[in-house]
Amino acid sequence: MIPIDEIRKKARLWLGSDFNEETRKEVSEMLEKDEKRLVDAFYQDLEFGTGGLRGIMGAGTNRMNTYTLGMATQGLSNYIMKQCGNKGISVAIAHDCRNNSRLFAETAADIFSANGFQVYLFESLRPTPELSFAIRHYRCQSGVVITASHNPPEYNGYKAYWDDGGQVIAPHDTGIIREVRKIRSVSEIKSEGRKDKIRIIGKETDDAFLKEVLKMSINPEVIKKHSEMGIVYTPIHGTGIMMIPPALRLFGFKNIISVPEQDKVDGNFPTVKSPNPEEPDALKMAIRKAVETGAELVMASDPDADRLGIACKNRKGEFILLNGNQTCALLIYYILSQYKEKKKYKGNEYIIKTIVTSDLIDTIAEKYDVKCYNVLTGFKFFAELIRKLEGKRKYIGGGEESYGFLPGDYVRDKDAVASCALIAEATAWAKSHNMTLYELLIDICLKNGLYKEKLINIVRKGTEGADDIKTMMRGYRNDPPKNINNSKVVIINDYEKLISTDLLTGKKSAIDQEKSDVLQFFLEDKSKISVRPSGTEPKIKFYFSVNTTLKSDDKFEETEKLLDQRIDGIITDMKLI
- What number does CATH give the domain 44-201? 3.40.120.10
Which of 61, 152, 53, 143 lies closest to 99, judged by CA?
152
Instruction: Find the DSSP H helices in 17-167.
Output: 21-33, 35-42, 66-84, 101-114, 128-137
The DSSP element (H or E) to which 522 belongs, if any, is strand 519-523
> Coil, strand, or helix at residue 52?
strand
Contact 94, 122 (CB under 8 A): yes
pLDDT of residue 467: 87
Q: How far is CA 214 from the centre of its chain?
A: 22
- CATH T-level fold of 220-448: Alpha-D-Glucose-1,6-Bisphosphate; Chain A, domain 3 (3.40.120)
Distance, in Å, from the CA atom of 90 to the CA atom of 113, rounded to the nearest integer, reads 9
DSSP 76-103: HHHHHHHHH-SSS-EEEEEE-SSTTHHH
Contact 46, 64 (CB under 8 A): yes
Contacting residues for 429 by C-beta, under 8 A, at least 6 apart: 219, 222, 334, 338
Which of 427, 428, 401 lies closest to 414, judged by CA?
401
- Asked whether the domain spanning 220-448 has the same topology as the one spanning 44-201, the reply is yes
pLDDT of residue 1: 65
pLDDT of residue 538: 82
- Helices 360-367 and 324-341 sit at what angle, rounded to 10 degrees? 0
Contact 312, 299 (CB under 8 A): no
The DSSP element (H or E) to which 530 belongs, if any, is strand 528-533
Beta strands in 131-289 (DSSP E): 142-146, 155-162, 198-201, 231-234, 256-258
pLDDT of residue 536: 67
Strand partners, 546: 452
Q: What is the chain's length?
A: 577
DSSP code for 47: P
Contact 130, 27 (CB under 8 A): no
- Pairing of the two strands 483-484 and 450-459: unpaired
Give Cα separations from 168 to 132, 141, 264 (angstroms). 12, 11, 32
Distance, in Å, from the CA atom of 302 to the CA atom of 238, rounded to the nearest integer, reads 7
Q: How far is CA 17 from the centre of its chain?
A: 39
Distance, in Å, from the CA atom of 516 to the CA atom of 8, rounded to the nearest integer, reads 37
What is the sign of the dihedral through the CA atoms of 399, 403, 404 and 406? positive
Task: Per-residue pLDDT tens, the chain, 577 aa: give them.
Answer: 689 999 999 999 999 999 999 999 999 999 999 999 999 999 999 988 878 999 999 999 999 999 999 999 999 999 999 999 989 999 999 999 999 999 999 999 999 999 999 999 999 999 999 999 999 999 999 999 999 999 999 999 999 999 999 999 989 999 999 999 999 999 999 999 999 999 999 999 999 999 999 999 999 999 999 999 999 999 999 999 999 999 999 999 999 999 999 999 999 999 999 999 999 999 999 999 999 999 999 999 999 999 999 999 999 999 999 999 999 999 999 999 999 999 999 999 999 999 999 999 999 999 999 999 999 999 999 999 999 999 999 999 999 999 999 999 999 999 999 999 999 999 999 999 999 999 999 999 999 999 999 999 999 887 788 889 999 999 999 999 999 999 999 999 999 999 999 999 999 999 999 999 999 999 999 999 999 998 767 899 999 999 999 999 999 999 999 999 999 999 999 999 8
Distance, in Å, from the CA atom of 473 to the CA atom of 285, rounded to the nearest integer, reads 40
451-573 to CATH, choices 4.10.860, 2.60.40, 3.30.310, 1.10.10: 3.30.310
Contact 546, 563 (CB under 8 A): yes
- Residue ranges of domains in the chain: 44-201, 220-448, 451-573
What is the sign of the dihedral through the CA atoms of 129, 372, 169 and 409? negative
Contact 332, 399 (CB under 8 A): yes
Residues designated catalytic: 149
pLDDT of residue 465: 82
Distance, in Å, from the CA atom of 357 to the CA atom of 563, rounded to the nearest integer, reads 17
Sheet containing strand 297-301, edge to edge, reads 256-258, 231-234, 297-301, 308-313, 319-322
CA angle 340, 379, 133 (to 5 degrees): 80
The amino acid present at 141, given as its one-letter code, is Q
